[in-house]
Amino acid sequence: MSAARWLAAAALAGAAAVAPGRAEAFCGFYVEGSGASLYNDATQVVLMREGTRTVLSMQNHYQGPVADFAMVVPVPVVLQEGDVKTLPADVFDRVDQMGAPRLVEYWEQDPCAPGWDGEDEAGGTGVAMALEEGKMGKADGYGVKIEAQFTVGEYQIVILSASDSTGLEAWLVDQKYKIPAGAAALLRPYIDAGSKFFVAKVDPKKVKFENGQAALSPLRFHYDVDELTLPIRLGLANSSGKQDLIVTVLSPEGRYQLANYPNVTIPTNLDVRPEVRDRFAEFYAALFDRTIEKHPGAIVTEYAWDASSCDPCPGPTLGPADFATLGADVLPGGSDRGWGGGFVLTRLHARYGATDAKDDLVFAKAEPIVGGREIPGKGGKLEEGAQPSGMNNFQARYAIRHEWTGAVECKAPVRGRWGGPPASEPARPVKAGQDLAFAPRGPDAAVQLASFVAADVPELEVKAAAGPPPAAAGAGTAATPRPRVDPPAGAGTPPPEKKGCGCGAAGGRGVAEGALLVALIAWPLGRRRRRGASTSIERTVR
């Protein structure tokens, strides 16, 4: 059975109808006990990869009752307690912030200032670079067998095997979980192939609440597979429209891209109008959508850089503790590296409709690229697009530039030297574009993009508009409103609903505050590692 055919299914349960907003997930379907409609419109997954060892980390955001919450994930092997752990949530914010598109702001320096080597300055300015035993219900009457069970944090976990999809469906229904329409047929080939099933349920007594919301711990799994893949098709069953998937791959082996989908790098080093300062997410949504229009079905590379450095940096770089948290402690070379570096962070972004994703994602190692830096080439023009290199230094970077408005009183002024603000202007930090899946989107990405850029974008066939951007576009497509659910008694009052989203400055959350994220499960499975296998399958796409 090929690696790309392994299934990843997410299944969540809620005791009552979910609150208004979006639930974020991508690679699986929801299972829930109330019959309410659940949607998944965005997902972030962090993968760490070395050799055949893969570590998957994901974060479960949940707003509402935790009773009967559960998730079901087909897996290729029986996971044991030591393969699963919970993580602190803040590491996901740092990863998301590190690879996010970024907005910088420059001021033209005094054209008459003496003795400035622009290339040296570019580097010097910092801008170049219920699962409890006895309560689960009997399984043997359904052709379902409990292979293992254990507790990790607030999660009660069992590993199941099933002889047929009908039996598994009947068991889930008997446990008061409803299978989304069409999911049983998708499960059948994986049951026939001998997949096991990871089922996690929450112990309400162990759940912490923050501001009236259940704060479920992120989960981490590790396993050995020959290929790095990420199934996505089943997750479309819960889509209310378009879905965004952001995959961050951390690997000492270099950059990753897709082996079975087209790859494209996001246009970078674009100068934008000052209005983008307050509408960065709207600008980037238009840029991303136009890129997909020109490259249908492509997966977009937004970042490829050493994970322990950045230039410019929207926040702290990742450090040894972050690498260990995300899986360096179980990688083959973890102890030799001291978990202290050498990881390349690749950020890949996909956006799909219900019929767009034909195959699960299969990843492959890729050659290093550079781009999106404040490094001038011949004639002083900044580098354009992504170029091959001996290292990875590529980022989605956009700039607001303020031309010199003071006196020019020398005979040979030198224009186009950019740096920090004059004393009369406040310094503005690098802004990371987060929550981008929920940005306002206009009906015509090219027209919207043209109003934001300060110059033409030939690669996207966009000509900059003469006037300023129009009023903000309407809110992005939202899931059908559903009744709000109050948290369990004593859990506090839920915060008021927030709508829209934007880009957060350094330190902002990587998930839209107004979105209802019921849960996230994505399982990048591949062929089970064969006994005696010493090398991984590598497919490099150039």
> Helix (H, G, I), strand (E, B), or coil: what is residue 373?
coil
Contact at 8 Å (CB) between 271 and 399? Answer: yes
**Pairwise CA distance, residues 38 & 238, whole Å:** 6
> What count of other Cβ atoms lies within 10 Å of the Cβ of residue 115?
4
For residue 339, the model assigns a pLDDT of 53
> What count of other Cβ atoms lies within 10 Å of the Cβ of residue 54?
28
**Pairwise CA distance, residues 327 & 529, whole Å:** 18
Using one digit for the tens of pLDDT, what is the confidence trace for 145-201? 889 999 999 888 888 888 877 777 777 767 665 555 556 666 776 788 777 887 878
- The mean-pLDDT minimum among 80-84, 195-199, 259-263, 372-376 falls in 195-199
For residue 366, the model assigns a pLDDT of 97
Residue 374 reports pLDDT greater than 70: yes
* List of residues 6+ apart from 505 with CB closer than 8 A: 314, 429, 431, 432
Q: How far is CA 170 from CA 177, 235, 360, in A?
A: 9, 21, 27
Average pLDDT over residues 228-257: 78
**Pairwise CA distance, residues 327 & 478, whole Å:** 35
* List of residues 6+ apart from 226 with CB closer than 8 A: 3, 52, 526, 527, 528, 529, 530, 533, 536, 537
Write out the two tokens for 513: 């505050």
**Pairwise CA distance, residues 132 & 60, whole Å:** 21
Domain segments of the chain: what residues?
3-460
Strands (E), 267-314: 270-271, 299-306
Average predicted confidence (pLDDT) for the chain: 73
**Pairwise CA distance, residues 537 & 123, whole Å:** 38
The residues with which 377 forms a beta bridge, in sequence order, are none
The strand pair at 299-306 and 344-352 is best described as antiparallel
Q: What angle do CA 47, 298, 376 make, to 5 degrees?
A: 85
**Pairwise CA distance, residues 524 & 223, whole Å:** 10
Higher-pLDDT residue of 414 and 10 is: 414
**Pairwise CA distance, residues 262 & 258, whole Å:** 7
For residue 354, the model assigns a pLDDT of 67
Query: DSSP readout, 215-277?
Result: EPPPEEEEEEBSS-EE--TGGGGG-SS-EEEEEEEEETT-EEEESSS-EEEPP-SEEB-GGGG
For residue 497, the model assigns a pLDDT of 37
Contact at 8 Å (CB) between 29 and 9? Answer: yes
Residue 268 reports pLDDT greater than 90: yes
The strand pair at 393-395 and 84-86 is best described as unpaired
Find how far residue 455's CA is from the centre of its chain: 29
For residue 504, the model assigns a pLDDT of 28
**Pairwise CA distance, residues 166 & 188, whole Å:** 8
Residue 441 reports pLDDT greater than 60: yes
- The mean-pLDDT minimum among 145-159, 176-190, 431-445, 468-482 falls in 468-482
- The mean-pLDDT minimum among 17-31, 178-192, 335-349, 506-520 falls in 506-520
For residue 43, the model assigns a pLDDT of 67
Write out the two tokens for 278: 């307050």
For residue 331, the model assigns a pLDDT of 92
pLDDT confidence tier of residue 334, bands split at 50, 70 and 90: low
CA-based torsion, 526, 530, 536, 537: positive or negative: negative
Query: DSSP readout, 456-468?
Result: -BGGGTB---SS-
In the block, tokens 């091959």 appear at: 388
For residue 182, the model assigns a pLDDT of 58
Of the chain, the percentage scoring pLDDT greater than 90 comes to: 33
- The mean-pLDDT minimum among 143-157, 165-179, 262-276, 476-490 falls in 476-490
Higher-pLDDT residue of 212 and 306 is: 306
DSSP state letter for 438:
G
- The mean-pLDDT minimum among 31-35, 243-247, 386-390 falls in 31-35
Query: DSSP readout, 251-262?
Result: ETT-EEEESSS-
Q: Which of 27-31, 126-130, 458-462 has the highest mean predicted lDDT (pLDDT)?
A: 458-462
Of the chain, the percentage scoring pLDDT greater than 70 comes to: 65
